[in-house]
Copies of this chain bind each other. A is one copy, B any other.
């Protein structure tokens, strides 16, 4: 963000090259961004290793490549590309050979500097094995954003004992991401066991009256446990990002 044009105006006043009235008129037409309001707080963006993000769905390969080139040229921030099919990974690797691919999560990471990692961890739990892709999108996102991540998969409510056998994992986490499709009841059970923030992610896994994840979404919104908030259906990235912001509060 550069304030050069603003500074120029002010110096012109000081040096008597501009009257106050002229300056007022200039200010009125100064691009908003130059005034420094663009981002209220951007502490996190200044942290070591904090990545730039590309949302890949619906973007052409060439378009993604040009975005990546632009980012590489600008500096050495890491890059996190989400919803990236394999050919997107290959297109990015063609430009930036250090690109790594997380296949299940469909995430590409270009790591150009070390990521500063917090000491408190995030736990990702899932109801079934079919929620894996969304869960991994959340987990990898949180890791790339600088959080230690634990995983506890396939502990859905229809076999509640698997969850209860692992309460120590719940105890040790700082923030929990609970991913579930079908009836989506897992976050409620987890929220009833712990007193920490639970980010609930409905998945579109299921069939019949599942309606593309609507059933799990409504279940989570209507949870009678406290300390739960919900992100969009299948939005693993959003959950990982939200959990990271919470986990990194100073």
Partner-B contacts on A (CB < 8 A): 3, 6-7, 10-11, 13-14, 16, 20, 23-24, 27-29, 31-45, 53, 57-59, 63, 120, 127-130, 156-162, 164-168, 170-171, 174-175, 182-185, 188-189, 191-197, 199-200, 202, 204-211, 213-235, 237-239, 241-242, 245-247, 249
A206: chain B residues within 8 A (beta carbon)? 222
Q: How far is the CB of A21 from chain B (nearest CB, A)?
A: 9
Q: Which of B42, B222, B233, B241 contacts A183 (CB 8 A)?
A: B222
Q: How far is the CB of A1 from chain B (nearest CB, A)?
A: 9
Q: Is the Cβ of A165 less than 8 Å from the Cβ of B32?
A: yes
11 additional contacts (CB under 8 A) given A41-B170, A157-B192: A27-B35, A27-B36, A31-B166, A37-B161, A59-B129, A127-B224, A182-B223, A183-B223, A184-B219, A209-B232, A209-B233
Q: A14-B16, A188-B157, A193-B39 are in contact. Are A183 and B226 (CB under 8 A)?
A: no
Q: Is the Cβ of B39 less than 8 Å from the Cβ of A161?
A: yes
- Can you list 23 contacts pairing A with B, beta carbon distance less than 8 Å? A3-B24, A10-B24, A32-B161, A32-B165, A32-B167, A33-B164, A33-B165, A35-B35, A37-B161, A39-B161, A42-B195, A57-B130, A63-B129, A158-B189, A174-B249, A183-B222, A197-B249, A207-B232, A208-B233, A209-B222, A222-B232, A226-B241, A229-B238
A211: chain B residues within 8 A (beta carbon)? 218
Copies of this protein, total: 8
Q: Is the Cβ of A234 less than 8 Å from the Cβ of B218?
A: no
Q: Is the Cβ of A245 less than 8 Å from the Cβ of B43?
A: no
Q: Is the Cβ of B36 less than 8 Å from the Cβ of A7?
A: no
A43: chain B residues within 8 A (beta carbon)? 195
Q: Complex Cα distance A221/B44, Å?
A: 23
Q: Complex Cα distance A92/B189, Å?
A: 31
Q: Is the Cβ of A227 less than 8 Å from the Cβ of B242?
A: yes
A38: chain B residues within 8 A (beta carbon)? 159, 161
Q: Complex Cα distance A192/B40, Å?
A: 9
**A196: nearest residue on chain B (CB-CB)?**
B245
A162: chain B residues within 8 A (beta carbon)? 33
**A14: nearest residue on chain B (CB-CB)?**
B13
Q: Complex Cα distance A147/B84, Å?
A: 39
A16: chain B residues within 8 A (beta carbon)? 14
